[in-house]
Structure 1
C-alpha cells in the first residue's frame, strides 16, 4: 500500500485523486479487535482446557480479532472474575459460576453440584436438551453478562495425603474445594478451605491442606498435585464439573456476526477436546498411574452421601423459584437416565 501511494503522489494530479480513493481500504485494515480472556486454570491445565481452542480462533480470525489468554489469577483473583468482566476490565471468562462468585440464581449449580451428573455427557445434554442453557442465558442477561456456552470437565474426587477408606476418615480433613461442594461436604466433617489456585500444591506440602476435592485424577497429574498427595479416592460427588464461557455483554454485542459464529465454533471445539481428554485420562491414570494409590469407600456407606445430596437439592430448591426449576430439571433428567438403563445408567 505504501509503495502504491508513493507512486501516485509522484504522478502529480492523478496521484492526488488516487490517494483519496485509496483511503477507504485503509479503514478495513484497522487494528484487530482485541479481547482479554482469563481462565480459572493455571498454565499447565490451560494448555488443555482452553488454549488449543483460542489458538485456533486467533489463527482463523486472520487478524480481524485476537483473544489474549491469561491464566488463573494473573489479571484478577478468581473470586473477582465476574465483577471484572461485568465492568469490562476483562472481556471474556472461562470459569464455573460458583468459584467466580457470580450474583445469579444459578451460581450454586456451577462447578460441582453434588450428584447432578454421573458422566461428562450429562452436562451438554442438560444444557442443550433439558433447558439449562436458556435459564443460564436469562439469568446472566439480568446482570449484563453474556453466557456464551457451558460444557463439562472432569469428575470430583478427593486427592489426599492420608488414605480415605470410610466416611469417618473424612472428618477434620482440611480440603481445597468449591464453595457449594464445601458447603455440602461439611456435614461429613470436611473443613473447606479457599486459597488461590496456584498456592494449593505448596499448601499441601506445608500441611495447611490435608487434601483436594477439586478435580479428577487427570488434573491431579497435569498440575502437579499427584506429586504432593499419596491417595486418590475413587468415589466422587459429581460426574462432571459444569463450567462455562462468558463475555461482557457490550463487547459481545459489538462483534460482527462472523466472529460470533467463529467464537461459538471455538468454544464447541474446546468442549469436545475436554470430553475425550478427561474421559480417557481418568481411566488410563487409574490403570497405569504410579503416583497415587487408589482407595474406595464401600458403596453401601457411600450411599449415605448420595442420599444426603438429594436432601441438599431440596434445600437449595427452597431458596428461590429459579433454583427450584433447575433442581426439577436435574431430577427429571436423572430419572430419565435411570429409566433408559444401560448404557445411560447402571443400577
Structure 2
C-alpha cells in the first residue's frame, strides 16, 4: 500500500502547533483590545455630592464597570472633587477628566442652549416631560447640533431629575416672603427668581450645609423633597414650599470627544445603556421620594403660596421665555417647542395636565 500523502501523528501535531501559533499571533496583532492589556480608564465627575451620587449615578457606573468585564474602568468623582463645578465643561474639553454628568447651565457650557439646562422656569411639570421633549419633540437633535460646534466635547444624552422647590429656614407663604431670601440655586433659575427679590448665591457643594447653619444662606432652591432628605438638608432647614418653579431638572452626560472616539463600539454601547439605566432609576426614585418625604418625612413644615398669587410667577416665566426667544436662533426654536409641548399637554388633559 502506498504511503504517499499520509501524515503521521507527530508531523500533524508539529504542523498544527505552527499553524495555531501563527493564528494566535495574527489575532493578537490585529485585535484592538485583549484581556492581558491594561484596561481603559476614565475619570468621570458628577455635579452631585457624595450622598446624592449614590443614587443619581453610582449604580449605573458600578453596572458599567461590571459589564465592561475588565476592558474598561470608570472612576467616579463627586461634586468639585477634581475640578470646581463651574469649570467642569472646560475640564472635559481639555481632557483633564474624561466625562461628566451635569446640567449645561452650572457647568458653564459655551453653547447657546445651555440656558435650558437645569431649571428653565416652568419648562416642565413632571419628570417624564424631559425625556419626551428630548426624544420626541426635537431637543435631542438641537443639542447635538449645538455641541457639534464646540470642539473637544461630545454631548450624549439628557434625562430628568427632581423638581425645584424652596427649602428654607424661614417660612414662605406669599411672594413677599421671597424678598431678600438668600438661596443656593442654579444660574438661570436664580436669574429668574431675582425678579421676585430672591438673592441667588453660588457656593461649592460641600459648603452649603455650613452656610445654612451659620445664616449665610436662608436655604436652597436646588431640588425637591427627595434630595432634601437624602443629602441632609432637611435636618438644617424648617420649611418646604410646595409650589415649584420647574417640574424636573434637566441634566446630561458629556464626554471628551477624543476619548469617546477611542472606544470600541461595544463599550460605547454598554456606556449608553448604563446612561439609560441611570435615567430610568431616577425616574422612579424621584417620583417615589417626592410624595414619600412630603407625607412621611416629618422634618419640614409644608407651606404653600396661594394659587392666584403664584400665577404671577407663572406669568412672569412666560415673559422670561419670550425674552430668551427674542435672541433668535436655536433658543427661539427651543422656546417654540416648549410652547407647543405645553399646548399639547393642556389639550390632552388629565393625566398629562390637570389645569
Task: Tell me if 1:147 matches 2:155.
Answer: yes
Shift of 1:320: 3.2
| Pairing partner for 1:192 from 200, 215, 231 | 200
Are 1:71 and 2:78 counterparts? yes
| Counterpart for residue 94 of structure 2 | 87
Return the match for 1:328 from 336, 340, 350.
336
Secondary structure at the aligned position of 1:162 is classed as: coil
Equivalents in 2 of 1:105, 1:269: separation in Å? Answer: 28
Tell which structure's C-alpha radius of gyration is larger.
Answer: 2
1:258 deviates by 0.8
**How many residues are matched?**
334
Alignment of 1:263-282 (within 5 A): 263-282=271-290
Q: Is 1:246 matched up with 2:236?
A: no
Which of residues 265, 286, 311 is equivalent to 2:294?
Answer: 286
Match of 2:112, SS state, is coil
Q: TM-score, normalised by structure 1?
A: 0.93
**Partner deviation per Cα, 1:286-330 (whole Å, 9 max, x = no partner):** 110111110000000000000000000000111231100010010
TM-score scaled by length of structure 2: 0.91
Following superposition, the deviation at residue 175 of structure 1 comes to 0.7
Q: Does 1:204 align with 2:232?
A: no
Q: Are 2:140 and 1:156 aligned?
A: no
> Which deviates further from its counterpart, 120-129 or 217-226?
217-226
Aligned to 2:53, which of 46, 50, 60? 46
The equivalent of 2:64 in structure 1 is 57
- SS of match in other structure, 2:253: strand
Alpha-carbon distance in structure 2 between the residues aligned to 1:208 and 1:320: 38
Q: Which range moved further: 245-254 or 202-211? A: 245-254
Structure 1, unmatched stretches of 5+, are 1-13
Q: Which runs of 5+ in 2 are unaligned?
A: 1-15
**Cα RMSD over matched residues?**
1.6
CA distance in 2, matches of 1:122, 1:329: 12
**1:211-260, Cα deviation, whole Å (9 max, x unpaired):** 10000011111111111100000000000000000111111111111111
Q: Within the alignment, does 1:297 sit opposite 2:323 as a pair? A: no
Q: Deviating runs (4+, > 3 A) in structure 1?
A: 14-27
| Secondary structure, aligned partner of 1:106 | helix
CA distance in 1, matches of 2:328, 2:218: 35
1:225 counterpart = 2:237:
no
SS in 2 for 1:315: helix
Question: Would you say 1:105 and 2:112 are equivalent positions?
Answer: yes
